[in-house]
Structure 1
Amino acid sequence: MAKPLPNYMSLGADSVIVTLSKPTELNGITADKITLRTPTVRDIRAAQTTASGDEEQTELNLFASLAQVGVKDLEGLALKDYSRLQAGYFRLVQEDEL
C-alpha cells in the first residue's frame, strides 16, 4: 500500500505541487509553492545533454525545466525545500500501484 502524501505535497494526474517551508523568489516573484509537471523522455534527455554527465546538474536542469524556473532559483532554495521537491518528483514519476 502506498504511503500517504506528506501535507506539503499535492499530487495531480500530471503534476505535483510542493509547498515550501518558507517563501522564496522564483522568476523574480515571491512564491510559497512550486509546481512540477510530469516529465517526458525529451525532458530527461535535454537535462542530461546540458549537464555533461554531472548527475546533480542533470537533476537541477530537469527540475528547473519542469517547474519553469531558473536553475539559480532552485539553487537558492533551503535544503529542506529542495528535498521536498525531490520527494514530489519521485512521487510524481513512480509507477502506479495495482
Structure 2
Amino acid sequence: MTTITTQKLPSWMVLTEEGATITLRKPTLINQIEVNQIRMRAPTVRDVRLATQQSGGDDEKRELILFATLIEAGDKDISEMTIVDYSRIQASYFRLVEDDEPYSRSA
C-alpha cells in the first residue's frame, strides 16, 4: 500500500492508492457499530454510474448513495453524521478522484 503525499493533507486524512482513512471528529454509528475512523475506497466508474441511476436525477441523493457505497454504510448512517464529518468525507472523495499528475498533451 503506497501512501499518496504530493500535497499537504489534513491530519484527519490518510490517502493511499486504494482509498482514504478518515478520522471523524465525533464517533458515529456505521452499520450499528460506533466508529471514530472510516475507510473510503477509491470509486470506480461503475460506482458513479449506479449512484447516478439510483438517484433519479437528485444530485444530493446521488452523492449520499455514492459515499454510502464507498464506505460500506447505509445512507441513513451518513445522514446522521455531523456536517463537519460529512465535509471530511466529501474532501476525501475529491482528493481520491483528483489526478496528482496533471495531463499534458505533447504536440
User: TM-score range with shorter-chain normalisation?
Assistant: over 0.9
Which AA in structure 2 matches 1:95? D
- Counterpart selection for 2:28 from 2, 19, 24: 24
Alpha-carbon separation, structure 2, partners of 1:40 and 1:13: 13
Scaled by the length of structure 2, the TM-score of the pair is 0.87
Alpha-carbon separation, structure 2, partners of 1:25 and 1:88: 19
Structure 1 residue aligned with 2:55 = 51
- Does 2:38 align with 1:34? yes
Shift of 1:61: 0.2
Alpha-carbon separation, structure 1, partners of 2:65 and 2:48: 9
Scaled by the length of structure 1, the TM-score of the pair is 0.95
State the Cα deviation string for residues 28-72 of structure 1 (Å, max 9, x = none).
000001111011111000000110000010000000001000000
Cα RMSD after superposing both structures: 1.0
Matches within 5 A, 1:64-83: 64-83=68-87
Aligned length: 97
Which structure would you say has the larger RCO, counting Cα contacts within 8 Å and 6 or more residues apart?
1
* Percent of residue pairs bearing the same amino acid type: 46
**Structure 2 gaps, min length 5:** 1-5, 103-107
